[in-house]
Amino acid sequence: MARQIHEYHPTIGYTFIPELRARIPHEAGGYTVKTNSKGFRCEHEVTADKPPHTYRIALFGDSFTAGDGVNNSQRYGDVLEKRFPGLQVLNFGLSGTGTDQQYLIYQQFVKEIEFDLLMICPWVENIRRVAAHYRLVTSRAEGEEGYLAKPYFELQDRKLNLHQVPVPKGTFTKDQLPEQDQDYVDVGGRHQLARELVNTYLKPLKSVIQSATKFQPVPAYDDPNNPDWQLMKAILVQWASESGGRPVLIAPIPMYHHIEQSAPADGIVQRFEELEQHPNINVVNTLPRFWEEPTKDRKRCRFKTDPHLTPYGHQVLADALAPAVSRYVEAAK
């Protein structure tokens, strides 16, 4: 039986169980989830004051940052920490969350603590989660599907309004969802039935099909006026404005379609560049570093069936982020 690794949180929806150590089955042989007393996969305890002679990064993201599929030490945040003496990375990544929930984590756990750099690394698919009120989930223990409520923002008159807090407890069937929320469910991507057919019967040809059809898994980024992007952008700008004047580094994590160039990424790059109009935001495009890898090696950045980053992929992502992190660390000396 799969072990429960999350617990309910009224504002965020859930967190990891605090002080957990659990071995998770995985296609790569399994990995260990180890959490601190606050319920995050972080090797450090979250203290109000940072240690002396330390440059502290508060890092946010979803499962690509929390590290699904790999041990704590293999994640890009931990890799960066090892590269820079005196660097401390507080990893607040939480699997399955959207940028909206990650912003709420900042407000709940981080806003009042001492840190030097706010680093936000949204997996680009998070744009769908930000627009959703519920997410389709599969129970680890029973393997059953259900719908999990989440907090969400609406953008009205350029103001963010938070809804569904406290978050309803439990998992719901589709029939139990409010009628007004039926169109705001994240089921994990576009063209779900077509993807299931390809994955089941045509998996060896999947990349060829995607490339030939110019499949774009996240088309919301192609239009600067898309309401999902406008919402995500508003959250990121509001978040940066609450950083207390500290620098904000935003580095979107691409999907494997973009790393392997079976889907265009121009819209994603252009949208995130818009954020640099904010005075304390610096955006890092990580794709060029992935594209430096030989074509045959780019697939080594993800697992065979799990799209999460492998240890190799985390190393490449750390390479992409290292120059920007180095500039901040050096400037603080």
pLDDT of residue 86: 96
Which pLDDT tens digit goes with each residue over 267-326? 999 999 999 999 999 999 999 999 999 999 999 999 999 999 999 999 999 999 999 999
User: In sequence order, what E strands does the chain have?
Assistant: 6-9, 13-16, 21-24, 31-34, 55-60, 87-91, 117-120, 134-138, 145-149, 152-156, 159-163, 171-172, 185-186, 248-250, 281-283
Please state, in angstroms and rounded to a whole number, the distance separating the CA atoms of residues 217 and 126. 11
With beta carbons less than 8 A apart as the criterion, state whether 266 and 284 touch: no
Q: Where do the structural domains in the chain lie, given as residue ranges? A: 6-331
Supply the pLDDT for residue 131.
Answer: 95
For β-strands 152-156 and 159-163, DSSP reports them as antiparallel
Give the chain's residues under pLDDT 50.
Answer: 1-2, 190-203, 205-206, 208-213
**Domain at 6-331: CATH code:** 3.40.50.1110
Residues paired with residue 283 on neighbouring β-strands, in sequence order: 250
Number of C-beta neighbours around residue 23 at 10 A: 10
| pLDDT, tens only, 204-223 | 544 544 444 467 899 999 99
Distance (Å, rounded) from C-alpha 275 to C-alpha 285?
A: 12
pTM greater than 0.75 (yes/no): yes
Q: How far apart are CA 58 and CA 116, in angstroms?
A: 8
